[in-house]
Structure 1
Amino acid sequence: MPNVPLIVFTDLDATLLDHETYDWQPAKPVLDRLIDANVPVILTSSKTAAEISQLRDAMGLSDCPAICENGAGLVPPGQGALPSPDAYRRLRRILDSLPVGLRDDYTGFGDMDVDGVAEATGLPRAEAALAAQRAFTEPGLWRGDTAELTAFLSALAAHGVSAREGGRFLTLGFGRRKVDAMTEVLTRYGNPPSIALGDAPNDQEMIEAATHGVIIPNPHRDPLPPLNGEAEGRVMREQTAGPAGWAHAVSALADRYL
Structure 2
Amino acid sequence: MLSIMQNALHLLVFTDLDGTLIDHDTYQWAPAQPALCALSRIHAGVILASSKTAPEVNALREALDLADWPAIIENGAGLLPAHGQSAPDGHEYHQIRSALAQIPNALRRHFTGFGDLTPAEVEKVTGLSTTAATQAKERAFSEPGLWHGTENELSEFKNALQALGISTRDGGRFLTLSYGKNKSDQMAAIVTRYAPKHTIALGDAPNDVEMLEAAEFGVVIPNPNGRALPKLVGEAKGRIIRAPETGPAGWNAAILGLLEKLDLQKD
TM-score range, shorter chain: over 0.9
- 1:190 and 1:52 map into 2 onto residues whose CA distance is 24
Aligned-pair CA distance for 1:80: 9.6
Partner of 2:171: 166
2:207 to 202, 207, 211: 202
Greater shift in the superposed pair: 218-227 or 54-63: 218-227
Change (3 A) 1:86 1:192: farther
2:148 to 126, 143, 147: 143
1:27-38 superposed matches below 5 A: 27-38=32-43
Aligned-pair CA distance for 1:201: 0.9
- 2:53 and 2:136 map into 1 onto residues whose CA distance is 6
2:243 touches 2:254 (CA, 8 Å); kept in 1?
yes
Q: Deviations over 1:182-218 (max 9, x none)?
A: 1111001124310000111111111111111111111
Aligned-pair CA distance for 1:148: 1.6
Change (3 A) 1:79 1:25: farther
In the alignment, residue 218 of structure 1 is paired with which amino acid? N
User: How many residue pairs were aligned?
Assistant: 258
Partner of 1:73: 78
2:59 maps to 1:54? yes
2:193 maps to 1:188? yes
Q: Secondary structure at the match of 1:160?
A: coil
Change (3 A) 1:79 1:242: farther
- 1:85 and 1:168 map into 2 onto residues whose CA distance is 24
Runs of 4 or more, structure 1, over 4 Å off, are none
In the alignment, residue 149 of structure 2 is paired with which amino acid? G
Over the matched positions of the two proteins, sequence identity in percent amounts to: 50
Aligned-pair CA distance for 1:81: 6.6
2:111 to 93, 106, 111: 106
- 1:127 and 1:168 map into 2 onto residues whose CA distance is 18
2:160 to 140, 155, 159: 155
In the alignment, residue 220 of structure 2 is paired with which amino acid? I
Task: Give the TM-score, by structure 2 length.
Answer: 0.93
- 2:32 and 2:19 map into 1 onto residues whose CA distance is 13
Partner of 1:244: 249
2:35 touches 2:252 (CA, 8 Å); kept in 1?
yes
Partner of 1:16: 21
Structure 1: stretches of 5+ with no match in the other structure: none
- 2:37 and 2:84 map into 1 onto residues whose CA distance is 17
- 1:109 and 1:80 map into 2 onto residues whose CA distance is 27
In the alignment, residue 135 of structure 1 is paired with which amino acid? A
Partner of 2:11: 6
Q: Deviations over 1:216-257 (max 9, x none)?
A: 111222211111110001111111111011011111212324
- 1:166 and 1:150 map into 2 onto residues whose CA distance is 16
2:229 maps to 1:224? yes
Q: Deviations over 1:88-119 (max 9, x none)?
A: 01111111121222212111101111111111
2:10 touches 2:196 (CA, 8 Å); kept in 1?
no
Partner of 2:90: 85
Aligned-pair CA distance for 1:142: 1.3
- 2:36 and 2:69 map into 1 onto residues whose CA distance is 13
1:127 to 126, 132, 137: 132
1:53 touches 1:82 (CA, 8 Å); kept in 2?
no
Change (3 A) 1:143 1:222: closer
Aligned-pair CA distance for 1:82: 3.4
Q: Secondary structure at the match of 1:55?
A: helix
- 1:149 and 1:19 map into 2 onto residues whose CA distance is 30
In the alignment, residue 182 of structure 1 is paired with which amino acid? M
Task: Give the TM-score, by structure 1 length.
Answer: 0.96
